[in-house]
Amino acid sequence: MTALVALTGGIASGKSSAARRFSQLGIRVTDADEVAAEVLAAGSPALDQLCDVFGQAVLTPSGDYNRKAMRELVFGDERALQQLNAIVHPAVRERTQALLAEPHDKPYQIWSIPLLLETGQQGIPDRIVVVDLPEALQIQRVIARDHVTEASARRTLSAQASRKARLAVADYVIHNDSSLEALDSQVDYLHQTLMDDFT
């Protein structure tokens, strides 16, 4: 049985870079965001359900899922957010479980999931890896990457699990407050540790 290692972290923490490195090392990565995109593809049952609940505003002119419009619809509206989650989360979980169950020739696999704590799934993986950085640097990176205001970046952070909560569940921490090379080096070291753990 291939062990399951969750890779998580806040927005702009460097999860994608860490996941890329694990993949380069031959480890299968199942990305929750990619699964969500697949589940919400044009014509999918989940997207049809969203249209039934929220109307055509959740679609782009070409009929694809309009993530930005959906975010604006649910922002500050707890009931709308619950409706969204009730449709999307079960579909994503079902598809994720199918992908994670596929045979893999390595002792462990990576499940890249930004909202591990927020969705209450921290009890599922065998190990949890948190990509961490100081909040001030995280805010700088969100502003630079997404071209948003500091207030908007802080709002996004406040909607996620706190840094303290993530670190409290971490088995391993990757510190991403330096260069990409430093992050890759930490992933390489952790990869060897996990290979030793599960063989």
Among residues 28, 194, 33, 31, the alpha carbon closest in space to that of 127 is found at 194
The DSSP code sequence of 144-190 is HHHT--HHHHHHHHHTSPPHHHHHHH-SEEEE-SS-HHHHHHHHHHH
Task: Tell whether residue 14 is among the known ligand binding residues.
Answer: yes
pTM: 0.88
How is residue 86 written in tokens?
Answer: 């009730």
- Asked whether this chain's domains 1-28+106-199 and 32-103 adopt the same fold, the reply is yes
What digits encode the pLDDT tens for the residues 91-124? 999 999 999 999 999 999 999 999 999 889 999 9
87 close to 27: Cβ distance less than 8 angstroms: no
Which value, to the nearest 10 degrees, does the dihedral of the CA atoms of residues 104, 110, 116, 119 take?
Answer: -20
pLDDT over 90 at 77, yes or no = no
* Domain assignments of the chain as residue spans, ordered by start: 1-28+106-199, 32-103
How is residue 51 written in tokens?
Answer: 């249209």
Among residues 76, 45, 40, the alpha carbon closest in space to that of 58 is found at 40
pLDDT at 9: 96
- Select 32-103's CATH number: 3.90.180.10, 3.40.50.300, 1.10.10.10, 3.50.50.60: 3.40.50.300
Task: Tell whether residue 32 is among the known ligand binding residues.
Answer: no
Query: DSSP label at 1?
Result: -
**Third-level CATH fold of 1-28+106-199:** Rossmann fold (3.40.50)
Residue 67 makes CB contacts below 8 A (sequence gap 6+) with none
Q: Report the percent of the chain where pLDDT is more than 90.
A: 85
Is residue 3 left, alpha or beta, with left meaning phi > 0 and alpha meaning psi from -120 to 50? beta
Side chain identity, residue 69: A
